[in-house]
Structures are given as structure tokens and as C-alpha cells.
Amino acid sequence: MVGAIALLAALTAGIAFPAGAAAGEPTGESAPKVDLVLDVSGSMRAKDIDGQSRMAAAKQAFNEVLDATPEEVQLGIRTLGADYPGDDRKEGCKDTAQLYPVGPLDRTEAKTAVATLVPTGWTPIGPALLQAADDLDGGDGSKRIVLISDGEDTCAPLDPCEVAREIAAKGIGLTIDTLGLVPNAKLSRQLSCIAEATGGTYTSIEHQDELTDRVNELVDRAAEPVVTPVAVEGADACERAPELRSGLYTDRQEFGQQRWYRVELLAGQELRASVSIAADRAVRPDHGVLMRAVTVHGREIVRGEATGNGRTDVVSTGLRHPKPELDDDDSGKPAAETVCLGVTTSFSADAGVKTTPGLPLELTVDVVDGPDDASDVASFGLGRGWWLLGALVVTGFLAGLVWGWLSRWRVAVWRTN
């Protein structure tokens, strides 16, 4: 799904992979990076988290997280609303700073920096996210922003949801997870939108231990091995399409565009493919995605399709195609088959919404050994199924005759008596 990690170099038609490295394998070359972005606006003074202020709960959670951060994770801390106490909105919306730089963690130094924080000013979430993305620049390891806030952004029209979509559109593989410290519907909608734009998660927090556990979980997740999608560029026709092997791929698709990819399938193998399209900008509610597997001659083999209504930022579908052991000719020899995968979308947007770059597309291709005897599977699905249906019909008919005969016999006996 869209929330991809750092991309490898873009590949053209006829994709080539280094020896021993398949598409979608972790590269493991760079350390994972996490930037904790903490709201230090004036509202963090409120004392409604287990009898203590939101700021005190955040500090305690940060201290515990810093103690538990894996050694391989490069961690940094950024603040928003920590320094400017005045009423000038223009100045307040610049108030974001790097409290501790992203890099190898000195736990004592980081804790000392956190201890100095005092709830102060505005809530410039959008500007803070832009700066946090720069904090994480460089390297091909996983990148994650964990945003903790107790209020909505106060610096519109720089909409933080649009900022998150712009970050996702850059294709730098950065995930934003959000945590809301107040059970507020408007805040939840904004933080959910930010997270969904990059494939992240939103969590509502009401207790200090929940905050600690969730931030720890997200930092640990950054240290887990990740699958790296391979950048690929689909074509406007199958004959010009790149050939894909099993793996995870990313591409971008213009509104209403059709993209083609090719997969070579040997006899006895099964193709499983799925696609997800992320709406990383405002689109009209009704949209859909169609995925088709066709032969090189244009005959459709199988399709999968899905529609969306605007309530989610991602729409996905998939398909499955098993190739029989023997070819269709009379030679009786196994043969390869070129399967053309076509992806078509029906997204549209209102005037003024940017249509370039295209929407992010994530494609999963899995070529595996099929059933031991595909013909037996087909036979069971059709032949044996019809036999079972026929047996049930005959049984029902005979049961009806017997029941009718017994009913007449009982009526006759009753009249006789």
C-alpha cells in the first residue's frame, strides 16, 4: 500500500537486478531514522492526562522511549510551538526547531534537551512536517516521523494534510505516524489524514502509559527489516512494457491513464498480482481501479476491480492466474506465456488540483508454483461440482416421492379406521 520505504534507482524496460538481490528485498545499507515531532504549544499545559499536564506526560514518555530506543536507530527530536510566546501569527507559524539532531543517540543529552521544554506558543504542524522531512534526508533506510499533538494546526492555509501528500509525492519513502492527546473529532480527522497520506497510522491517546507504549512501538517498527519497493515505469502498451519478476514495485499513474507491465509465466506456475493506488491529493469521491491480465494478443484472462467513495485514501484490487502444466498445442511440452498486466484508474479532480506527478501506484507481483495438477483442480471445480449438484437433485426428488407415498398411505389408513 503506498507508505513505501526509500526507492532504489528507477529502472527502464528490461529491468535488471544485481546478482543475489531480488526486487523488493531489504537493502540494509543505511540505518533507520526516526524524528519525534512534539507539540509544545500553550495548550500542552492542560492537566488532563492521569492528573498531570500533557507536557509532563510527554516528557515522561520521551524519557522512557529514549531508554528503550534500539542502538541501530538514528533518532532526533523536533519541536513546534516551543519558542515564540507572542500573538504575531506570521512569527508563530515559523516556530519549529530541531531540539536534538537525527543521528546516533546520546540518551543523556537527549533527555537533558527534553527537560528544558515549556509549553509556549502556536501549533505550526505543516511547517514542522516540512522541516522534519529535511531532518531525515539522505540514506536508503526506513524513515519515520512520529507526530504528537494536542491540537489542530493554527497555520492554515498551509494545510498539514496537503503537506503530507506533498511529502508522499516526493517518493522518498517517508512514513508519518500521528498521535492525538485529546479525543477531539476535528483533531482526529486532521491527524488521520496526515497519517493516511503516507501510509502511516493515527492513534488517540488518553493515558501516559499509552503514549509511552505507542511511541516505543513505532520506534521499534522503524528498526524492523523492511521491503524496499523497486521504482518502475509502466508503458502505454504491453509490447513496450517492462518485464517484472516477483517483487514489490512503485510507479506513478496519471488521472485516467492505463499502464502496462509484463510477466513471464512458465507452465505449472501461478501468477498472483495486486495493485494499490493512493490518492495523495484531493480527488472526487467516486473513483476506481481495474487490473487485467491479458495475453499478448489482447485476450483477457482474468480481471480484478475495486471502487472507492472518498472515505479512504487508498483503493486496491488483485487477481490470480494459474497456468496449466501443458501448453495448448499438441506438442505436450511445457511452454512459457507472456502475461500482460494492465492497470487502469478512474480518478478525477476538481479544477485547481495538481494532476502531476501522477498518483502513487504500488504493484505486487508473485509468481509461485501452482497446484500439482491444475487440471484436477479445474475438474473438481466443475466436473465433480456438477456431479454433487446432480446427486443432491436426485436425492431430493426421491425423498419427495417417498414422502408423498407415505403421506397418502397414512391418509388412507386414517380413513379406513
Task: List the domain boundaries for the chain.
Answer: 33-223, 230-369, 383-417
pLDDT of amino acid 18: 36
Pairing mode of beta strands 287-294, 300-308: antiparallel
Q: Are 243 and 262 in contact (CB under 8 A)?
A: yes
Q: What CATH number has the domain spanning 33-223? A: 3.40.50.410
Cell of 279: 490518492
pLDDT per residue over 38-94, tens digit each? 999 999 999 999 999 999 999 999 999 999 999 999 999 999 999 999 999 899 999
Please say whether the beta carbons of 98 and 131 come within 8 A.
Answer: yes
Give the up-direction half-sphere exposure of residue 202: CA atoms within 13 A in the CB hemisphere. 22
Model pLDDT, residue 51: 92
Residue with cell 532504489: 8
pLDDT at 32: 92
In our burial notation (b when 16+ CB lie closer than 10 A, e otherwise), range 52-64 reads: eebbbbbbbbbbb
pLDDT score at 96? 95
Q: Model pTM?
A: 0.57
- The reported pLDDT for the residue numbered 309 is 72
pLDDT at 411: 60
The residue with cell 498518483 is: 359
Under a CB-based contact definition with an 8 Å cutoff, are residues 170 and 4 in contact?
no
Is CATH 2.40.37.10 correct for 230-369?
no
Residues of the chain with pLDDT under 70: 1-29, 225-228, 310-313, 325-334, 370-393, 396-397, 404, 406-417
Look up residue 20 and give its three cell numbers: 543475489
Rounded Cα distance, 58 and 214, in Å: 12
